[in-house]
Amino acid sequence: MSSSTTKFTLHEDWTVVILGSLIIVLAIAGLLVPVPAFGWTSGAELTSKVLGANNLIKILTQFVFVLIIGGVGALIIGKSIRNYILGFPLVYLITIIALILTGSGQAKALNLEAVIFSLLLGLIISNFFKLPDWLKNSLSTELFVKVGLVLLGTSVIFTDILKAGSLGLIQALLVVTSVWYFAFWVCKKLKVDDEIAMMISSAVSICGVSAAIATAGAIKGDSKKLSYVISMVLITAIPMMIFMPIIANYFHFSQEVTGAWLGGSIDTTGAVVASGTLVGEAALKISTIVKFSQNVLLGLAAFAISIYWTYTKHPSAKDKDTKPTLGVIWERFPKFVLGFIGASLLFSFVVGPSTITAVKDSLKSLQGLWFALAFTSIGLETNFADLFNENSKKPLYAFLIAQTFNIFVTLGIAWILF
């Protein structure tokens, strides 16, 4: 008679739903993780504000909280707790450095996001130092990304979007649909890898980084391919943020048209806000509405993409020549999407405004931290050669063509609607 016991484990997606829900419930119950300050414009402010005792305590508190939550996740999905506890402090330290760099006045002026610094620092370390296998095995990239996505759902408030204006929603639907299909068509014409094609299509048409991450989760995409797509999004967002307001001013576009154009074309929310601010108050408001309207579609898009991917690309071995059944689709469906949608519905229709106001800063800070941790991990497990090689040219061409199409189509729709 065997004395061996089977270790209980749970699928990573269900684990993420549990962890994300736990964080949200704790916040609503009053357990708010403090929000550290990372903004600084001088060495003195860096020392006194960011590296001051009170702020370091907040950073340490976040560290302990995320260490525990991530440790529970590692335990549930069957990863080595020892390796996680040894590796996580390094990932967290690198991520904090990235957040501090992001908080500098120069980075804020360019509206650079934390994920780009996290990714770059991770890449630099992984390419100049040989990392031990136990450290690489301790990285929980997908867990970090998906917990961040569940928390992202708390900021997608349907009622706010509906109050802000129906035109923004109409534009979002038209832009997302037309640009997504065009981008996917271009990728197929250029024979781009299916996974990258899906990520590019979502990133260009919906909301950049978040959409690429959600799509990668929905299709269980390779993190190195995700890293490449994110690099393209972040690199192109900066010139678009700077030159689109200049073009709008040169051709005397109204602030409403300009705002709708910026919100629908620029892939990152931060860059949208920065470019809208350069134009004026009305442009800032409209650009934010349009971008938030596109963000609302993120969960629905991830849901549709996951079903499409399972139904057309991944038939089971025994059903290679037939379409998967609903049972197979459900089995392979990324359950973290349900966490995102559930969080959005909860904060849209159940949680009261006063509670949302009380918890939003803490949850927003944690959401950004989970994403930054994920990109630090991606950097640590990726080589530059994997990102920029001969095979990366076609995806880059496809991305640039799709982005150009996005700019002109969005301008046309904005001109008609606004």
Which pLDDT tens digit goes with each residue over 207-244? 777 788 778 877 877 777 887 887 788 777 768 877 88
Burial pattern 30-62, b for ≥16 Cβ within 10 A else e, equals: eebbbbbebebeeeebbeebbeeeebeebbeeb
Give me the numbers of helices (H) and strands (E) for the chain, helices first please. 21, 0
pLDDT in tens, 274-322: 677 778 877 877 887 787 777 767 767 777 887 788 777 655 444 444 5
Exposure string of 178-213, with b = 16+ CB inside 10 Å and e = fewer, is bbbebbbebbeeeebbebbbbbbbbbbbbbbbbbbb
Average pLDDT over residues 55-80: 94
Q: What digits encode the pLDDT tens for the residues 101-130?
A: 999 998 887 767 787 788 889 889 988 888
214's enclosing H/E stretch is helix 209-218
Residues 53-63 have a mean pLDDT of 97
Distances (CA, A) of 409 to 174, 178, 245, 383, 405: 9, 8, 17, 36, 6
For the chain, which residues make up each domain, given as ranges? 12-417
Alpha helices, DSSP H only, in 221-280?
223-250, 255-265, 269-279
- The DSSP code for 32 is P
Sign of CA dihedral 254, 259, 264, 268: positive
Give the separation between CA 91 and CA 135, rounded to whole angstroms: 10
End-to-end CA distance of the chain, in Å?
Answer: 75
Please state the rounded mean pLDDT for residues 27-38.
96
Distance between CA 71 and CA 309 in Å, rounded?
31
Cα separation, 399 vs 201, in Å, equals: 8
pLDDT band at 79 (very low <50, low <70, confident <90, very high): confident
Least confident of 130-134, 310-314, 347-351, 353-357: 310-314
